[in-house]
Amino acid sequence: MHSDMSKTSIGGIGRDRIADLRETEGAAFRKARPQSQAKVGNGLPGFFGGVPMHWMN
């Protein structure tokens, strides 16, 4: 793989396409599971950095 290609794609898929897909799938998940966001919010205060495992922060 050419070094310039890695800046614009991952595995041959454009980074902008990956970002769009992530947002689309995230929106579908949130719509299908509204209680998940309500329960978790922006992290859990009892966890370091709001995540259940330190390495995730």
- Residue-range domain boundaries for the chain: 1-40
- What pLDDT, on a 0 to 100 scale, did the predictor assign at position 43? 64
What is the Cα–Cα distance from 45 to 12, expressed in whole angstroms?
A: 39
Give pLDDT tens digits for 2-46.
556 668 898 999 999 999 999 999 899 889 998 887 776 666 666
Residues in Cβ contact with 56 at an 8 Å cutoff, skipping those fewer than 6 apart: 49
